[in-house]
Chain A
Amino acid sequence: MPETIIHTDRLTRTFNGVQALNALSMDIPAHSIVGFLGPNGAGKSTTIKLLLGLIHPTSGSGSVFGKDIVYESREIRQHVGYLAQQPRFDETMTARQTLRFVAKFFYNGPTNAIEQRVAESLELVGLQDKADRSVKGFSGGEMQRLGIAQAQINEPNLLILDEPAAALDPMGRRDVLNIMERLREKATIFYSTHILDDVERVSDRVVILNKGELVAQGPIESLLQAEEGAVYHVALKGDVESAKARIESQPWVSALHINRHNGTTHWRVGISDMDAANAHLLREVLASEGVQVLEYGLEAYELEDVFMQIVQR
């Protein structure tokens, strides 16, 4: 299995003159959980359908497991599990029949082994007691659970989940995240979502799209730090003017915002070189006489802040 599971190169898709996806170039490493973010209409579902060969690119190219998404789509789907945004199944089938049907696309083998695999999958998503009910009567949450069960039944190397927790209540959401964490041992998980708390909880990396264009991708920690560059927060008391002059003169300081409150001065120090800042910032502040440092640390961003900043640019 290659180290890069998904690779796209200027992948573009236009629908009737409207660009749904514009020159998306991204790389998804193996064994990661990747949150695929973006506002509605950003091009997330289009990207997912392109990766699965359900629609074709207008230009650009892509590969999954090193196989071309246009010409080797069947081979790709052999090792992929997919959950659609609004999962729909054959309504004449029960949950068990649905899973049996899906399993038989992937496996030969004794009937009892297939049945056991089906039973394990039902148990994984907590649908054992509804296994023999027609999916026609399933609620949105039950459909979603069944969708996850059928997506993982072939023990895929890559799970592509389009809004896996969208129709779920908080407990269902928690269960889905737990399932994803369990599956990460075996598979790379690429999932789109609007629920940023979930992304922060389980993802290693994020890819953010806006209006069909890639606006950010990378490990989640670096994204949280790198927006505006990293920012240190320093709370000071005393004569801060000389310290201010020293800090402003440093080449690795990109900005200094000052705020005073109840006799305490608060600095937000924008950093362009993280290593230099880690080594010198506190030392430079303390080198100024008459300054007392009350608080010092790297500002922690919520993913939501970063996401909003990026998509509202």
Chain B
Amino acid sequence: MTVTQALRPKRTTGRLTGFGNLVLRESRKWWGTRRWWMQVLIWLVILNGFVVFGLHVMPSIIEQSAAEMEQAAQSGAETMTAEEFQQDVPNVMFGLATFLLPVGVIILVQSQVYAEKRSGVAAWIMSKPVGRPAYLLAKLVVDAIGILLVMIVLQMIPAYILLTSVIEVNTGNFLLAVALLAMTLFFYQSFTLMMSVIGSSTEMVMGISLGVLLGGMVLKDPLTRILNDLIFLTPWTVPDAISLTLSGQPLPDVMQMTLVAVPTLTLVCLGVMFWQFRRQEL
């Protein structure tokens, strides 16, 4: 049997034609390069490094400087005991994660489509029997899995082990907080991928994506005064929801809007992304 006889031509399968092959290509970028372990290492150092610092280093500093702390407390300054500091570590770690992990996601995703369009790689791939949605979906799915595993699962498992070895952590609340964090990251991934499809320069894609993240952090309070409850329709209030969840308090009704709004915004971003890419010229 000749090679050509042994090979069976593939049939086009609608808009997802080529999806499997593209998933393999995108997966290679994550798992076939140093990307995954570099990311694991970076976030282990930052997030779990903080957990270790907060649980073990900082309490011993507080205990060693007990006299100074007592003096400061007597003079009216707000102080924390070592135990109080340890109890607050999950909250601060999730605070760090909801700010820094989206920055990492934006950096990872920003060039996904834009750079390939600019270099001609996108046109090369689209000259094959490939559905345009398949091209985007492969990037979305593989990146989402990579982000979920590397930035969330492989960070939160050691964090949970470290935390529960020292303080009491409600597992259900912790998992809920992780789920909210994953929802936030998926929003920023979708938003940045949409910008990578729409954007006409790296600066534009990065600038707008980081602008949405940082702008929300900086302008949340003044915007709350203007927008009132509408602020809960943005992803900027997710850190507050995580904080409440970790402390075991029920989310106020108005904050539950966030849990609907962020997935909805994510779907809107994905819709715009697919619609834009369908009509784009390569």
Q: Which residues from chain A sit less than 8 Å from chain B, CB to CB?
A: 49, 52-56, 74-75, 77-78, 80, 82, 84, 86-90, 92, 101-102, 104-110, 113-114, 116-117, 120, 154-155
Contact = CB atoms under 8 A, between A and B. Distances in A.
8 contacts: A49-B282, A54-B126, A74-B131, A90-B121, A105-B130, A106-B129, A108-B8, A109-B7
A74 B128 CA distance: 8
A100 to B, nearest CB: 10
A74 B12 contact: yes
Contact of A105 (B8, B10, B29): B10
A84 B128 contact: no
A106 B10 contact: yes
A77 B279 CA distance: 18
B259 to A, nearest CB: 38
A92 B33 contact: yes
B120 A109 contact: no
A55 B121 contact: no
Contacts of B129: 74-75, 77-78, 105-106
A73 to B, nearest CB: 9
A129 B121 CA distance: 24
B56 interface: no
B9 A75 contact: no
B127 A120 contact: no
B123 interface: yes
Nearest to B3: A116
Contacts of A107: 7-10
Nearest to A72: B12
B249 interface: no
A175 B149 CA distance: 48
Interface string B108-126: 0000000000011101101
Contacts of A88: 119-121, 124
A23 B33 CA distance: 48
Interface stretch (B17-25, B99-107, B217-225): B17-25
Nearest to A82: B127
A84 B124 CA distance: 7
Main secondary structure of the interface of A (DSSP, over half): mixed
Contact of A101 (B21, B29, B281, B282): B21
A231 B29 CA distance: 62
Contact of B7 (A56, A78, A105, A113): A113
Nearest to A52: B127
Contacts of B123: 49, 54, 84
Given A101-B25, A107-B9, A84 B127 contact: yes
B120 A84 contact: yes
A80 B129 CA distance: 9
B7 A77 contact: no
Nearest to A109: B7
Interface in B51-109: none
A106 B24 CA distance: 15
Contacts of A90: 25, 121
B93 to A, nearest CB: 33
Contact of B18 (A89, A105, A108, A154): A105
Contacts of B28: 92
Contacts of A110: 6
Contacts of A54: 123, 126-127, 281-282
A163 B21 CA distance: 28
Contacts of B165: none
Contacts of B131: 74
Given A56-B281, A107-B9, A77 B128 contact: yes
B228 interface: no
Nearest to A155: B4
A54 B131 CA distance: 12
Contacts of A117: 3-4, 7
Nearest to A53: B126
Contacts of A155: 4
A236 to B, nearest CB: 58
Contacts of B12: 74-75, 78
Contacts of B119: 88
Contacts of B25: 90, 101
A84 B121 CA distance: 10
A77 to B, nearest CB: 5
B121 to A, nearest CB: 5
Given A88-B120, A92-B33, A104-B21, A77 B10 contact: no
